Chains A and B, each alone.
Chain A
Amino acid sequence: MATAEATMGGMAHAHHEEQSFIRSYIFATDHKIIGIQFLFASLFFLLVGGIMALLIRWQLGFPGQAVPFGDPISPKSYNALVTMHGTIMVFFALMPMVMGVFANYLIPLKLGAPDMAFPRLNMLSFWMFVSSGTVAMASLYVEGGAAGAGWTAYPPLSGAAQYSGVSLGQQLWIVSLILFGASSLLGSVNYITTVINMRAPGMTLFRMPLSIWSLFITAILALLAVPIIAAAAIMLLFDQTIGTTFFLPADGGQPLLWQHLFWFFGHPEVYILILPAMGIVSDILANGSRKPIFGYHSMVYAIITIAFLGWIVWGHHMFQSGMNPLLGTTFMISTMAIAIPSAIKVFNWLGTMWRGNLQFHTPMLWAIGFVSLFTIGGLSGIFMASASVDIFIHDTYFIVAHIHYVLFGGTLMASFAGIYFWFPKMFGRMMSERLGKIHFFLTFILYNLAFFPMHLLGMGGHMRRIADPTQYEFLRPLQPLNQFISVSVFLLFLAQIPFVINFFTSLFKGEQAPLNPWKDNGLEWTVPSPPPHGNFETTPTVYHGPYEFSSPLVEEDFLPQNAPLNGGERKAATVGAGAGE
């Protein structure tokens, strides 16, 4: 193998063929393996969260009826379901998907680096994630049941067992959150250091693909936001266990303080969830349009602006908390302002596709789906940004609709786009296009059938987190809508079956993947599928940006970043890229 030793992080790569199975695949330090480990973990938790969603929709659509082959869902169980569905989807399915899978897999490869700056820290980060997920799952089975105070865990309800009836479950919830935070922090340190310090020669910051830009900025957000929730969670845990009084009003604590701390983290958190999705979609849209991304620089500045503004909007989650109206107004203004860079990105995606030589491969379909659904989610956000409107729709299904449009229609669809796109590189095999398209169309249609009506429910006054809407007379006319939504969700769940079949059969029986099946420009497509340990035999040199599609200077409609334009005595792009010949 390569004789050149990498001298960063004190690691040497001389003799890796001899590593045991455990060192290579269980306690792996290779970023690609860790990325794939995160992928399997995320998909598992996606399944768990999805099953919880089914149970929630069962109760909402058919309140009080026994679950098939089971019992009726009690109100306490319902609270736990709603809490754990949110917690698992946000922290154990989506966060690891964007920050664990794509950050890990793509950053070194797309930058021309052999691995992350701190491979062993990377491994630690994954196993801490596993432990946090284990604690969260364990909390489902302890006495008293799982946490039931919502994924937002507002005290006093979450702060004392006497209020919620849940003791150990809530404490384990908090512990798993703290462990998750630690895992996330370690990951961020790695990603930030790697992006700053380990780019191949020629890979200036403004030649980085947007996926990497967004992952980089996201890592900075996570670095600075996660410690706040860690501090808050510790204080909540102490309130629950050792009699402190941070959030319990009886002895001077302030419940509202939790809300401020939680959302000071929580808002950057949602940008952590969406920015990588946007970055991935940018890469895939450019590829599928065979055109450079429209307005690359403004895309970068938009990402940075969103990240900056994201720190000063947290109060829009608290318009109903009784906070000082002056404060509320400032949050309203900053929240509306943040729509601007987001809109710039949407227009730039449209500009990218406009008059492109559109290739509707499966990743492209998901990316286009992302743009449409994220736009809807963003538009509903503008309604919510207005404090006076929010007085009516806060804590209703309007919010639930918004959340799911941006997280499912947004982050999850972008994640599917990314999985279909990079699966060939990860596993050396192609996924089935046919099954991929079936998966996409079924999901897209059923998703909208399921979640669009929730805007109507919310405007009709349907609150969040209630177990039985029919207990309120004014909600009974909306019940058919609830049933319609529930049935759509059940079918949406089933619509994921083509993906499961596709993913697992392709792993073993998929067609061998060529070096660069999507004819893309990224550096990851210049190395074998899957790439060897160390990624690049020698570090590539980068000559231009990542979106040189349909360049008039080149015969092919793409130009890899490491392909010099005019040949020269330098090495051409590696075998199979065929640029500029």
Chain B
Amino acid sequence: MANESVMNEAIAMPGGVHAEPGMQVYNQKLGMWVFLASEVMFFTGLIGAYIILRFGAGDWALPGIPLEEGGTPLNINLTAINTFMLICSSVTMVKAFAAIEHGDQKGLRRFLLLTVLLGASFVGIQIYEYMELVHEGFMPRCSDELAAIVPNCHLFGSTFYTMTGFHGTHVSLGVVALIWVTVKAFRGQYSKENHGGVEVVGLYWHFVDLVWIMLFTIVYLI
């Protein structure tokens, strides 16, 4: 497949013919969208469980109220900044894709690197936040001291760490995939005709950002 583009809408089959028209995007892109549909369901399971558990629990630690008065132990301001950073990484990702669509190798590399940095920073800040929370006694099972102040602390801890932890894992895997793609970009392995890998990783990355947009609101702000 050396010179042929892998981004054809018409799928090539042996014998020089094209497949019966299907989704009319190349296989890897279709595969990624199909996979993302399953990921939506996965996060639905986790976030849905949170919504249901919280709805049935009654009292909950709300934002804007001090911790001592039963307010949220979460650091909303720091996470808001983190959220913005992840959104920025989505911009750099789509700019990288736009660059290679025009054959701009420099732009591709620059924006991919930025995306990797922003993504890694998100994970780093999240880990820092976890450490702070654990120090306060906020864990999948809360410390006794915190459980005395924060209503339904154990439930909150259970759901918080599971949702954000799995999201963070998805981000981390995304960063690994991005590094892979960035290395290939620096080796000049993408071109205007052939950059499916960039698009497909980009789709995954935007999805991860999208999930966070929902998570941040539902878990931190509501």
Contact = CB atoms under 8 A, between A and B. Distances in A.
A235 interface: yes
Interface string A235-255: 100100011111000011110
Contacts of A201: 13, 17-20
B49 A231 contact: yes
B15 A197 contact: no
A484 to B, nearest CB: 43
Given A246-B158, A257-B49, A118 B27 contact: yes
A205 to B, nearest CB: 8
A151 B180 CA distance: 40
B162 A235 contact: yes
Interface stretch (A3-11, A326-334, A381-389, A400-408): A3-11
B23 A197 contact: yes
Given A189-B31, A252-B53, A245 B45 contact: no
A538 B152 contact: no
A539 B31 contact: no
A478 interface: no
B16 A5 contact: no
B168 interface: no
Nearest to B163: A231
Contact of A257 (B18, B20, B53): B53
B154 interface: yes
Contacts of B22: 196-199
A306 interface: no
Nearest to B10: A197
Interface in A249-272: 251-254, 257, 260-261
Interface stretch (A222-230, A415-423, A499-507, A519-527): A222-230
Nearest to B157: A244
Contacts of B141: 242-245
A5 B53 contact: no
A416 B44 CA distance: 37
Contacts of A542: 20
Which residue of B37, B38, B39 has the most chain A CB atoms within 10 A of its CB atom?
B38
Given A9-B28, A203-B20, A254-B53, A539 B42 contact: no
B38 A231 contact: no
Contacts of A228: 41-42, 44-45
Contacts of A538: 14-17
Contacts of A188: 34, 38
B27 A193 contact: yes
A193 B34 CA distance: 8
A261 B45 CA distance: 8
A203 B19 CA distance: 9
B19 A252 contact: no
B57 interface: yes
A41 interface: no
Residues of B in contact with A, size category: 35 or more
Contacts of B155: 245, 251-253
B36 to A, nearest CB: 10
Interface string B99-116: 000000000000000000
A142 interface: no
Interface in B20-62: 20, 22-23, 27-28, 30-31, 34-35, 37-39, 41-46, 49, 52-53, 56-57
A5 B1 CA distance: 8
Nearest to A229: B45
B6 A254 contact: no
A463 B28 CA distance: 50
A113 interface: yes
Given A4-B15, A192-B34, A538-B15, A244 B158 contact: yes
Contacts of B39: 227
B4 interface: yes
Contact of A189 (B1, B11, B20, B35): B35
B131 interface: no
Nearest to B28: A9
A243 B42 CA distance: 22
A1 B127 CA distance: 54
A429 B13 CA distance: 29
B74 to A, nearest CB: 17
B63 interface: no
A433 interface: no
Contacts of A512: none
Secondary structure call for the B interface: helix
A315 B26 CA distance: 39
B125 interface: no
B27 A9 contact: yes
B53 A185 contact: no
B15 A257 contact: no
B154 A536 contact: no
A261 B46 CA distance: 10
A374 to B, nearest CB: 28
B214 interface: no
A74 interface: no
A4 B17 CA distance: 10
Contact of B30 (A114, A196, A537): A196
Contacts of A245: 141, 154-155, 158
Contacts of B166: 234
Given A244-B141, A254-B52, A537-B14, A230 B45 contact: yes
B45 A117 contact: no
A202 interface: yes
B156 to A, nearest CB: 9
Contacts of A118: 27, 31
Interface in B64-83: none
A199 B42 contact: no
A242 B13 CA distance: 50
Nearest to A112: B13
Contact of B140 (A6, A112, A190, A238): A238
Interface in A537-552: 537-539, 541-542
B12 interface: yes
A534 interface: yes
B57 A252 contact: yes
Nearest to B156: A252
A379 interface: no
A7 B7 CA distance: 11
A43 to B, nearest CB: 28
Contact of B20 (A4, A200, A226, A242): A200
A204 B14 contact: no
Task: Count chain A CB atoms within 10 A of each CB in B1, B31, B56, B157 and give the residue with the most.
Answer: B31
Contact of B46 (A112, A196, A231, A251): A231
Most buried by B among A8, A198, A536: A8
A2 B13 CA distance: 12
Interface string B102-146: 000000000000000000000000000000000000001100000
14 contacts: A9-B28, A113-B19, A118-B31, A193-B31, A196-B30, A198-B27, A199-B19, A227-B41, A231-B44, A246-B53, A251-B154, A252-B53, A257-B53, A539-B17
Given A243-B154, A252-B57, A538-B17, 11 more contacts: A117-B27, A117-B30, A118-B27, A185-B38, A197-B11, A197-B22, A198-B11, A226-B38, A234-B46, A254-B52, A257-B52
Question: Nearest 8 A-B pairs (CB), nearest first?
Answer: A231-B45, A538-B15, A243-B141, A244-B158, A227-B42, A227-B41, A197-B22, A252-B155
